[in-house]
Amino acid sequence: MMRQYELVERVTKYDPDANEDLLNRAYVYAMKAHGNQKRASGEAYFNHPLEVAAILTEMKLDDATIAAALLHDTVEDTEATSAEIEEKFGKEIAALVDGLTKIAKLDLVTKEATQAENLRKLLLAMSKDVRVLLVKLADRLHNMRTLHHVKPEKRARIAQETMEIYAPLAGRMGMQTVRDELEDIAFRVLNPEANRIITERLEKLHAESGDILREIEQALVAKLGENGIQAEVCGREKRPFSIWRKMERKLLSLGQLSDIFGFRVIVGTVDQCYRSLGIVHRTWRAVPGRFKDYISTPKQNDYRSLHTTVIGPHHMRVEMQIRTRLMHEIAERGVAAHALYKDAPDAKEGLDGFRQPAAESNAYRWLRHLVEMLQEGESPKEFLEHTKLELFHDQVFCFTPKGQLIALPRGATPIDFAYAVHTSVGDSCVGCKINGRHAPLVTELQNGDEVEIIRSEAQVPPAAWEGLAVTGKARAAIRRATRVAVRRQFSGLGREIVEKLLAKHERKFLDKEVAAALPRLGHKNLEDSLVAVGRGELSGHDVLRAMGIAVEEGKAREPRRKISAKKGDAADELSIPVRGVSRSAALRIAPETGAVPGERIVGIITPGEGITIYPIFARALEQFDNQPERWVDLAWDSQAAEKMFPARIAVTIMNEIGSLAQVTQVIGDLGGNIDALQMVAREGARDFFDLDITVEVRDLKHLNDIMMGLRTKNAVSSVQRKTG
């Protein structure tokens, strides 16, 4: 066990102004508070907070954080109280200990809803003071180092929790050293056989390549020295879990990996970084497509470095990272390094953006962004899903036309880009240009792309976009906008139904009169009542009764929804999978517009014939405004995904050779089927033709893909959905 004076010496070595009295008092208080408590290993419990404090001294953290680490389990596991901690050690340390106490018993690998809520609490506590995060990660790191003392079933659960939450969280905070160790220990527990095979292979490769690696190190140092650059070069090998992850992601065997070994070149200034890169590329042949400049464009966790791969001595592929000493500290220790360097006198060259407290770092801004998402009222389950997405994705960097840098997860689309700029930009997005050319909204963005979003204030984001988006922010905003749009549609439909029924009684729809009846309807506001009527949950006649209007019994009945289909009816053979009517109902889709899964639909009853299905935007519905009894609220069934459905679209094309072929090829390539096509020449505009196409698709997403694909063609002037 580390002695009291040893801990103090560790801190004062990197921080001569540290409060030694505070550290001594915290050490003695924690040791007495934990008394004779034991850990699973049988050692004194106090050894755990002491080791956590020792880990934090390696990160060179301030005396308050070290004291909080010593005290972090006292309130939870001893008779100490928060008030007593504040009295003896002050408000700052008491607040840190309190934040750690609140998350001390979080179980992040539980039922999904519980896990999500616990993750909310964890991030909220961390967002108030980043030091809570640092102590928590050090606490988890020591627990993982002693995981072999825990029962096997609990061991696997803790390892899974570490792999899913704590390791990627450390990575997002830029603390790569902590992340690597957490992942490797968890990997040994979760996949011991794979870990053993990779470790043995690495040991064999290291024995075979040791001399070559030393030769490359010496050659690099010598070559840079000849050009007046004093550099520190160290060889390194990928960690077992990192190798395993790359093998799975790229479907490679261990023998196919060519970058197991790499080199870090650490120099004095940013200028020397770029000069070193030039020297390396002049000396050895560079591998095309393997250069990345994270100095001019840092990662979101503040990581900066130049990456390149060359064919070095003995024709060995060599991966290099070139950085300054301060960049190296940031890369290894992330947010923990900011406090040390923000006021450093030598932090002038190559540290633009680093002379700031951790609370202002890009990594910490990411944490605050998550907290903002959490406060927007999403459900815990959605928040957990989005957080894990953002924790695990690598990034691409794109630009707005004005040069603003937007960092996105790998695999992101222009939809994600639009919402990253602003929610209103995403909600009004109708198209995009990538590097000056029109492109589908489903295009996967690449590093360096310039993205221009085309907007329309009349746009409402389709629900199908949620499946196309990658970022949590975009998905949440689309889901929210969809809910609002659907609610608005139901409300409008409900208002029309009540208005028509009131008109039959020679009464006008007045908000105040209808609102006065709300207590009898059991709703809080007028909007809720109208939505209920639109959904079919509340009868329009019930609203009239609540207003004191006499309704004849015959008219009070809801329209019958069970309509028998005629034998041999073509509509019956189609067997349209919708909910809201009996399975024996005769159904047909309105030929004027078509209708596809994913869009809001209603049915219109025609006595003796059955029900015609219309999308909610169909103009034909206007003729039934004064017949609310004929309206049936419908919804697509889950079986709809197994069929193809018709949708009519209007396409305007240029009058030139191959125009029609471009249209049909797009539809065919994207898996659509043309059921009918009519071409009409425009009067007075012989340069264009109008196409009326009935295309069969699986759902709204499929239809949108086809329409967006058509819009990218030069011969296509416009593409619109037919409304009837």
* Same-domain pairing of 123 and 236: no
* Same-domain pairing of 350 and 202: yes
pLDDT mean across residues, the chain: 79
> Domain boundary at 627, 643, 659, which?
643
Does the pLDDT of residue 111 top 50, yes or no? no
Q: Percentage helix, strand, coil, to 5, in the chain?
A: 50, 15, 30
For 428-492, the three-class secondary structure string (H helix, E strand, C coil) is CEEEEEECCEEECCCCCCCCCCEEEEEECCCCCCCCCHHHHCCCHHHHHHHHHHHHHHHHHHHHH
Q: What confidence tens digit (pLDDT) does each residue in 160-205 have? A: 888 877 887 788 777 888 888 999 999 999 889 888 888 888 887 7
Q: Where do we find the tokens 């699973």? A: 40
| pLDDT for the residue 573 | 36
Q: Which of 58, 62, 77, 499 is catalytic?
A: 77
pLDDT higher for 217 or 407? 217
At 337, the pLDDT band (50, 70, 90 cuts) reads: low
| CA distance linking residue 25 with residue 74, whole number of Å | 14
* Same-domain pairing of 288 and 302: yes
The answer to whether residue 430 sits within a structural domain is no
* Same-domain pairing of 221 and 137: no
pTM of this structure: 0.52
Q: What confidence tens digit (pLDDT) does each residue in 605-632 have? A: 876 567 899 998 898 888 887 777 788 8
The answer to whether residue 492 sits within a structural domain is no
> Domain boundary at 643, 671, 705, which?
643
Does the pLDDT of residue 718 top 80, yes or no? yes
At 128, the pLDDT band (50, 70, 90 cuts) reads: low
Q: What confidence tens digit (pLDDT) does each residue in 408-420 have? A: 877 889 999 999 8
Does the pLDDT of residue 557 top 60, yes or no? no
At 257, the pLDDT band (50, 70, 90 cuts) reads: low
| pLDDT for the residue 347 | 40
* Same-domain pairing of 325 and 295: yes
Q: What confidence tens digit (pLDDT) does each residue in 678-703 have? A: 888 766 556 778 899 999 998 888 99
Domain with 291 in it: what CATH number? 3.30.460.10
Mean pLDDT of 290-309: 85
* Same-domain pairing of 638 and 677: no
* Same-domain pairing of 590 and 618: yes
Does the pLDDT of residue 463 top 90, yes or no? no
21 as an active site residue: the answer is no
* Same-domain pairing of 288 and 313: yes
* Same-domain pairing of 603 and 666: no
* Structural domain boundaries enclosing 564: 559-643
CB 378 within 8 A of CB 393: no
* Same-domain pairing of 208 and 148: no
C-alpha torsion angle, residues 173, 178, 184, 187 (rounded to 10): -50
| pLDDT for the residue 386 | 52
6 as an active site residue: the answer is no
The residue among 126, 135, 107 whose CA lies nearest residue 51 is: 135
Domain with 654 in it: what CATH number? 3.30.70.260
Lowest-pLDDT choice from 135-144, 311-320, 391-400:
391-400
* Same-domain pairing of 112 and 166: yes
The answer to whether residue 549 sits within a structural domain is no
Q: What confidence tens digit (pLDDT) does each residue in 641-662 have? A: 568 899 999 998 888 888 888 8
Q: Which of 76, 107, 248, 625 is catalytic?
A: 76
> Domain boundary at 359, 391, 423, which?
359
